[in-house]
Amino acid sequence: MPRAGLTPDRLVAAAADLADEAGFERVTLSALARRFGVKDASLYTHVRNLKDLRTRMALLAGGEMIDRIAAAVEGRQAGRDTLAAFAGAYRAYALEHPGRYAATQIPVDQDLLTGSPAMRRTADITYGMLRSYGLEEPDLTDAVRLLRSTFHGYCALESNGAFGAPRDLQASWDRAIDALHALLLNWPREERSPDA
C-alpha cells in the first residue's frame, strides 16, 4: 500500500528541493526517505530507482526553466531583445536553483524527451528565436549547441566563483550577449548541395 501523502510528484518536488539545498549528487533515495520519515523501500512504490527519480527531476526542472524563459521572451521583438531575455531567464534559473539546474544537464532517454510537452516547448521557443536570425538546419542545431554551451559554461563558472577579475559579472554577461547576437546575425551558413 502506498504511504498516505506520498505521491511521485511530491517525491520529485522534494528531491528537487533537496538538490537545491545540498547539491544534485547528494540526492539519494535514502536521503529522500529520511526527509519523509519513511523507509527507503516505501519510495519504490512511487519511483523505480535513483535513475528514475533523477530523470523525473530533470523533466520537472526543464519544465520550470522553460516556463520562466517563455514568460521572459513573451511579447518581445526578435533579435537581441529576445536573446537577452532568453539568456537572462536561463542564467537566473541556473543560479537560483543550482540543484534543479544540474538535473537538466543529465542525459535523458530520447523517447522521454520526445514525449515531454515541456521539452517540445523548449525546442519550439529556442528554435523559434533562432529562426528569427534566418537560420535553418543544420545551422539551427549548431547555434543551439553554441548557446547552450555558452550559457552553461558561464553559469557554471559564475556559480563556482571562478571569475576572479574585478570586472562586473553582469557587464561581462551583457557583452557575451552582444557577441552572440552579432555572431547569429552573421552566422557562417553551411553550404548546401544544389540537390538538397
pLDDT tens-digit readout, 86-126: 999 999 999 999 999 999 999 998 888 888 888 899 999 99
Check whether 129 has a pLDDT greater than 90.
Answer: yes
- How confident is the model over 153-165, as pLDDT tens digits? 999 999 999 999 9
pLDDT at 2: 46
Q: Is the pLDDT of residue 76 over 60?
A: yes
Whether residue 131 has pLDDT greater than 80? yes
Query: What pLDDT was estimated at residue 8?
Result: 95
Helix (H, G, I), strand (E, B) or coil at 1: coil
The crossing angle, in degrees rounded to 10, of helices 117-131 and 80-96 is 140
Mean pLDDT along residues 139-149: 97
**pTM confidence score:** 0.91
Q: Is the bond preceding 138 in cis, omega lying within 30 degrees of 0?
A: yes
Q: How far apart are CA 118 and CA 75, in angstroms?
A: 20
6, exposed or middle or buried, with CB in 10 Å at 0-12, 13-18, 19+?
A: middle
Q: What residues have CB less than 8 Å from 39, skipping those under 6 apart?
A: 33
What value does the mean pLDDT take over residues 130-152? 96
Q: How far apart are CA 166 and CA 109, in angstroms?
A: 42
Q: Is the pLDDT of residue 43 over 90?
A: yes
Decide if 132 contacts 79 (C-beta within 8 A): yes
- Average pLDDT score, the chain: 93
Pair 95, 155: CB distance under 8 Å: yes
Q: What is the pLDDT of residue 192?
A: 64
